[in-house]
């Protein structure tokens, strides 16, 4: 069995993720940047696989640990909460994971691999390494990362796409982010085969998550043929 297929099965058993069912690859969906209880009520109805809380103060979608704890308390236990960090102290991330405020960590800064390994060793929880893609070297540089998943993006919260052909040959599980939405998801999935898609900006109206946009894109992903 190829190593990356073994990883999918490992995550299904250890972390409750279903990626292959009856020989069919199931695309995961992550809705990032939730800030309100209304957002939680929406995702509880639509059941994406993951949601994201942004702990970087530079983001307009920033939530404090206290806000995130309130939101997580209302979240369906079937949806996994991912904490998004930019160069936060490893101790802060470990604390949120141990307290159950988040179920996974997503690192967007210059965090060394040593921090990533430490977070995993101290919590036993999965870690996503976000990679800003500008050229093929950016993709290749992180293929040996200790992260459970990579996330390829054009820049945190930029809402811009990048050249998806740069992902050709990636043979480990990854999330795809950056300007994804209802208008281009079918085109994306005809070109690349991610483990999951990560959406945020395209699901907003006037700066807030729009339940109808979330519904439409969730249906599209669930019906995707990959």
| C-alpha separations of 78 from 13, 31, 197 in Å | 15, 14, 18
Q: Which two tokens stand for residue 188?
A: 């994306």
H or E segment and range at residue 122: helix 113-123
Report, as residue numbers or ranges, the catalytic residues: 32, 153
Return d(Cα 221, Cα 226) in angstroms, integer.
10
Return d(Cα 156, Cα 109) in angstroms, integer.
10
Return d(Cα 24, Cα 191) in angstroms, integer.
18
H or E segment and range at residue 92: helix 90-98
């Amino acid at each position: 069995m190829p190593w990356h297929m073994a990883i999918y099965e490992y995550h299904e058993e250890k972390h409750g993720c279903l990626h292959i069912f009856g020989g069919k690859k199931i695309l995961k969906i992550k809705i990032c940047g939730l800030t309100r209880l209304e957002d939680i009520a929406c995702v509880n109805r639509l059941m994406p696989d993951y949601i994201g809380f942004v702990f970087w103060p530079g983001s307009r979608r920033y939530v404090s640990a206290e806000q995130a704890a309130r939101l997580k308390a209302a979240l369906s236990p079937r949806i996994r909460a991912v904490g998004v960090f930019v160069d936060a102290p490893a101790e802060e991330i470990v604390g949120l994971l141990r307290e159950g405020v988040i179920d996974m960590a997503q690192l967007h800064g210059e965090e060394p691999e040593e921090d990533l390994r430490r977070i995993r060793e101290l919590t036993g929880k999965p870690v996503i390494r976000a990679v800003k893609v500008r050229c093929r070297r950016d993709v290749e540089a992180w293929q040996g990362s200790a992260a459970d998943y990579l996330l390829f993006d054009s820049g945190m919260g930029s809402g811009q796409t990048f050249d998806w052909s740069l992902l050709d040959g990636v043979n480990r599980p990854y999330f795809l982010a950056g300007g994804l939405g209802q208008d281009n998801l079918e085109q994306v999935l005809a070109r690349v085969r991610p483990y999951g898609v990560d959406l945020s900006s395209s699901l907003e109206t006037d700066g807030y998550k729009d339940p109808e946009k979330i519904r439409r894109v969730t249906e599209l992903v669930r019906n995707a043929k990959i």
